[in-house]
Chain A
Amino acid sequence: DTAVSQTPKYLVTQMGNDKSIKCEQNLGHDTMYWYKQDSKKFLKIMFSYNNKELIINETVPNRFSPKSPDKAHLNLHINSLELGDSAVYFCASSQNRKISPLHFGNGTRLTVT
């Protein structure tokens, strides 16, 4: 009964490839997020998305694109992978209310060779 699940857990790929990471939440939350955690453990917001709006961190390259088939899913697609994309990517969700914290998935460790 995992609340926020993401797949795969590990992803190893070569530069230039296109890959996707899937995320699903069964909490009934209306907002989902993608975060990138680098090797120094710094967490950077990439996207937040609900039914109504997509908020993109302007520093995220346009090679990264979120895709949401429905409110329970927010997948992350990455084109033309680069070495610097290697990181752990966390999906999270929350309810669009002040009192709702973030619930995180287990993370996807992406390694670009």
Chain B
Amino acid sequence: NAGVTQTPKFQVLKTGQSMTLQCAQDMNHEYMSWYRQDPGMGLRLIHYSVGAGITDQGEVPNGYNVSRSTTEDFPLRLLSAAPSQTSVYFCASSPGFSYEQYFGPGTRLTVT
């Protein structure tokens, strides 16, 4: 199993550009989520999904969209990038609520 994979590893955007961060898992996990990590802030939940077709907002959802058309994939879309979205983004999955989450290697995004 590849586990949780994320692409790209690094990305530089200009303010106003849009892009999609890809996340895929091959463990047949129902629960998937997106976090951002910023210095001194820990990891903050952006959006999460409890199964295909079901998504909900986390702590910091503004400026981001998600969809879950398959169990395996959970892409994160930045609609109009802003410098405040410069961060490291992690995708995670788990079999269910009370299980530990498995994290991908992260995407480092810089918005200039």
Same assembly: no
* Residues of A in contact with B (beta carbons under 8 Å apart): none
* Residues of B in contact with A (beta carbons under 8 Å apart): none
